Amino acid sequence: MSPQTSTASPATGVIAARPVVYGLPSAELVAVPEHAAQVSPLIPGSARLEDHSPAAAPGPAVVLAPPGTSERRYTLALVLRALAPGEMLVALAPKDRGGSRLAKELAGFGCTVAEEARRHHRICTVSRPNALDGLHDAIEEGRSRHIDNIALCTQPGIFSWNRIDPGSDLLLRHLPKLSGRGADFGCGLGVLALAVLHSEAVSSLTMFDIDRRAVEMARRNVDDPRATILWADLRQPEAALTRLDFVVMNPPFHDGGAEDQALGKAFIASAAEALRPGGSLWITANTHLPYEAPLRAAFRSVTLVASEGGYKVYEARK
């Protein structure tokens, strides 16, 4: 059975005591408890790991650890904090995307680690000790914060969390004044949305991201009544998207740390379905990504607006 999403208790706001699973680990690598609560921020509807009561969750907890160091240590620290003493944690990751560091990081929290290698992964099993070391520092390192150099609220693990992505910067320099009803696909921290909403002619902007952390930060960064910010997977049908005047996007092309060009192609298809005839898509992407063919297949006209520094910007008209 698939891991279940979870909600907080209406009376307390605290997540009920159930085993937790972070991500979607392969069943060939680890067994996930049947009624485990999904806590990955990349799976819409999942519970917030941050909301779990300390030292209360039963085991085993299963974590497909994220590749970024700060994000991974933050996740491991939160899971260990949530686990009841003596309960088991199984953490795994591909060897080349953080797996080789897992055992050392868990040992640094005061855990005794049993490690095995399987299918290019490192799998670490620990029993949560009564006393843990370094949790506070790891949680502080991975928590949300305001960064002055980009003047935005952000958090490690979000796409381009501590800088303006060069592709977005290129799009911002060529984006015209837009008008009417629009959407921002994969809104991230809200960088493109803030620029779009500078136009008083924009009547509404629906922003989507699959990352709960990005949605939470965008809600802090974009304080505009015309903006609606949703935690959603745009690869799934979205009934609210019909006859839009424009869509802007810097689509993702990584899934779980590995390149996946199908993500951008799915975003393009969703934009084509959501736009009215004559509506426009403004898209930025790395130059090596083969998006021209799906753009020309889905849109009446496609114009290369800019190409610079390994990135490109297209306007596509439906």
**What CATH number corresponds to the domain at position 253?**
3.40.50.150
Check residue 56 and give left, alpha or beta (phi > 0: left; psi -120 to 50: alpha): alpha
In the structure, what pLDDT confidence band is assigned to residue 238 with cuts at 50, 70 and 90? low
**Together in a domain, 126 and 273:** no
- Domain boundary at 141, 176, 204, which? 141
Question: For the ranges 89-93, 117-121, 126-130, 237-241, which has the lowest average pLDDT?
Answer: 237-241
Q: What is the domain count for the chain?
A: 2
**Together in a domain, 297 and 148:** yes
**Together in a domain, 222 and 302:** yes
**Together in a domain, 117 and 163:** no
The pTM (predicted TM-score) of the whole model is: 0.91
Residue 67 inside a domain? The answer is yes
- pLDDT above 90 (res 258): no
pLDDT, tens digit (0-9, with 9 covering 90-100), for 206-221: 999 999 999 999 999 9
Residue 8 inside a domain? The answer is no
Query: Residue 16: what pLDDT?
Result: 55
Q: Each residue of 174-212: b (16+ CB within 10 Å) or e?
A: ebeebebbbbbbbbbbbbbbbbbbebeebebbbbbbbbb
Query: Residue 13: what pLDDT?
Result: 43
- Domain boundary at 141, 176, 194, which? 141
Residue 226, burial from CB neighbour count under 10 angstroms (0-12, 13-18, 19+): middle
- Domain boundary at 109, 141, 173, which? 141
pLDDT, tens digit (0-9, with 9 covering 90-100), for 53-86: 999 999 999 999 999 999 999 999 999 999 999 9
Q: What is the mean pLDDT of residues 236-255?
A: 83
In the structure, what pLDDT confidence band is assigned to residue 233 with cuts at 50, 70 and 90? very high
**Together in a domain, 131 and 150:** no
**Together in a domain, 174 and 126:** no
Residue 151 inside a domain? The answer is yes
C-alpha distances out from residue 293 to 146, 166, 247, 297, Å: 39, 23, 18, 6
**Together in a domain, 217 and 148:** yes
Mean per-residue pLDDT over the chain, rounded: 92
- pLDDT above 60 (res 5): no
**Together in a domain, 151 and 210:** yes
Domain of residue 67, residue span: 20-141
Higher per-residue pLDDT: 239 or 267: 267
**Together in a domain, 108 and 155:** no
Residue 5 inside a domain? The answer is no
**Together in a domain, 129 and 159:** no
**Together in a domain, 132 and 150:** no
Q: How far apart are CA 210 and CA 41, in angstroms?
A: 8
Contact yes or no for 199/193 (Cβ under 8 A): no
**Together in a domain, 128 and 166:** no
